[in-house]
Structure formats: structure tokens, C-alpha cells
Amino acid sequence: MVLKGTAYLRRYWQLYALLILPVSYFIIFKYGPMYGILIAFKDFNFFQGINGSEWIGFDGFKEVFAMPDFFKVLRNTLMLNFLDLIVSFPAPLFLAIMLYELKIVWFKKLSQTILYIPHFISWVIIGGIVYQVFGTQSGMINNILMSFGLDAIPFLTDKKDWLITYLVVGVWQSAGWGTIIYLAALTGINRELFEAADVDGAGRLRKIFSITLPSLKPTIVTLLIINLGHMIAIGFERPYIIGNTAVRDYADVLSTFVYRIGIESGQYTIATVVGLFQAIVGLVFVLGANYTSKKLADQSII
């Protein structure tokens, strides 16, 4: 039955009222600040505000693209995210499948809890732990190596070794938490499929490849698209805290760059330009990934 105008509103106004909060959240905190994007096109003067500052067109962009460090930082961002995608993206999937296969309930719950914990530890603390574990002079691993008469490995101060440290720490911190979505999706699988497979004599691996993974496909694709969209965006804390001066060639990324230029040096125009650039490239990535996935696998989020 289709209700008309006022009758419809009178009946469902409460549902719309419920929408007010989330919608205003987006307007105030997500759309409102977009006004600040104007800074990218202005020679921003603190005391004259956004309106009072002078228009400079694309001069800010020209300046950013002329900075030798900008491209290094851009490359690092893409490189770290790409490696992260290869290493950290499949990790929760493996973990989730392994957890799903566990039959002893208490052990499963215990494992889950232990895997979740790192997600709730602040990066600052993780940074301290990393230092204690991977340090060259007094790190736990190197102490063990040296007690066997082996050479210390500069996990934190050699750029290539540092990359591995960065990735491993990332997996440790996020993989457990990442399993939640997969586990949720797994509970949706029809149990009868497994029973039928048992009857057909399928082994455990056969069932994983023929039932579990295909059922997870939409979830995997969705997460992949989201991750690709974040290719150009990178968290601030992880590279900033795990990184150090010796490995800045790899550890300096867009977010730390914006922090240094924007907050520390007060060049707001430059910082906004970089932020805007990041947003636009990010959008291109999401749309691109979505389009490709729609064409190839008939799965998409928009």
C-alpha cells in the first residue's frame, strides 16, 4: 500500500526523527569542515581567517609538487600500504578460518580474546614494546642472537629490516581484530552444506576451499575495496611511532609529512593541499576498485 504525503509522514515521522542525529553528525563533522578546503587555494593568514585570506589559485599545489620530499613521501605511503595489503590483508582471513575450524569452545574463546588484545593497546605503548623487543643494543631478540654468538640485526635502524618490523607489528596489532567481520560472515553459512559435504566424503581442506572461502567472497571483496580506498590514506601513529630518524627514507609518509609541515611549521596552505590531494586520489582508488570488482566479480559496494 502506498501512502501519500502527509499520511505517510504522520505514520513514519518517528523513523525520520531517528535519522536526524546521524545526518547532523555527518553535516557538522564531515561536510561542514569541507569549507576549510578553501585554505588550499588561499595564502592562509591566521589573523584574517579563511575569508580574509588572499586567493592564490593553484600556487599551493605547484609548490607541493615542486617539493622533493613530497614524492618520496607519496611513494612511501603507497609502498607501505601496498605491502600492508599483501601481508596484513590475508592475515585475518587465515586466522578467522582457523578459529572457525576450532571445535573446543573454551579454547576458541581464549584464542579470540588473546588475538583481540593488541588492538586495544595504544601505539605509544606498542612503540615501547617494539623498542624493547627489536632494539639493536638491548632488544630481546638481538640479546638472544648475540648470546649464540650471532651478529645483531638492526631491525629498527636498517631500512629494509625496518620494513619487516613495520609489517610484522601491523599484523600483530590488527589481525585478531580483523577476524571479527569474517567470523560474523562465517556464522551465516548454512550448516547443511557442511553436512552434505561430509556425506560426500569431503575432507577438511576440501570443505574450506569449496564452502568456507566461496561464502566469504562478498566480505573479502568489500573489505578489499575499502582497503584499496585507504591506499593513499595512512594512519599517523604507526609510521610515526615505529619509525625513527635512521629509517626516515621509508618511514616518512603523507600523514607524518602533513603533521610536520602543517602543525609544526604552520604552513597550513601546504598541509591542506596535501590533505586534499590525498582525498581526491583516495576517491579515485575507491571508485576504480569498485568498478573493477563490479566488472570482474559482479560484487560492489556502490
Partner 1 sequence: MEQTKRGRKTASTLLTATLVGTMLISACSSNSGNEKANESTGGDKASGKASSLKVEVFDRGNSPAGSTITKNYLTTFVQDKFGTPNNINVQFVPVPRSEEVQKLNVLMASGSDVPDIVFTYDSGTFYRYAQQGGLTDLGELLDQYGPNLKKFLGEDTLSYGKYDGKQFAFPAKRSHLGKYSSFIRQDWLEKLSLPVPTTTDELYTTLKAFKEQDPGQTGGKVIPLGMSLAPSSYDPFIWSFIQPLTEEQSYTLTQQLGSADYPTLLPGFKDALQFMNKLYNEGLMSADFSLDEDEKKLNEDAAKGLVGFFSEDDMNPFYADGTYSTLMTNISDAKLSAVDVFSNSEGKHAKPEYAPVGMYLMIPKSSKNAVEAVKYLDWMASDGNLFDMQNGVEGENYTLENGVPIMKTDATDEIKNRIYNFGDMAIISNGKQLGDADKNVEAYVVGMPEANQEETRKALSISRSDTIKPVLFDRPIEAQAKYGTALQDKYKEIIVKTAMAKPDQFESTYEAAIKDYMANGGQAILDERTKAYEAMKK
Residue whose CB is less far from partner 1, 60 or 212: 60
Report the helix count and the strand count for the chain, using DSSP H and E: 16, 2
* Secondary-structure percent of the chain, ordered helix, strand, coil, rounded to 5: 80, 0, 20
Residue whose CB is less far from partner 1, 177 or 236: 236
Reduce the DSSP state of residue 234 to 3 states and report it: coil
Residue whose CB is less far from partner 1, 55 or 106: 55
User: Which residues, in sequence order, are bridge partners of residue 208?
Assistant: none
Among 3, 11, 49, 107, binds partner 1 (CB under 8 A): 49
26 binds partner 1 (CB under 8 A): no
User: Which residues, in sequence order, are bridge partners of residue 45?
Assistant: 49
CA distance 150 to 259: 39
Among 59, 85, 136, 300, binds partner 1 (CB under 8 A): 136
126 binds partner 1 (CB under 8 A): no
Binding to partner 1, residues 60-119 (CB under 8 A): 67-69
177 binds partner 1 (CB under 8 A): no
CA distance 283 to 293: 15
DSSP character at residue 158:
S
Residue whose CB is less far from partner 1, 29 or 106: 29
174 binds partner 1 (CB under 8 A): no
CA distance 198 to 124: 48
Instruction: Write out the residues near partner 1 by the rule CB under 8 A.
Output: 29, 32-37, 39, 45-52, 67-69, 131, 135-138, 152, 156-157, 235-237, 244-246, 248, 255, 258-268, 271-272, 275
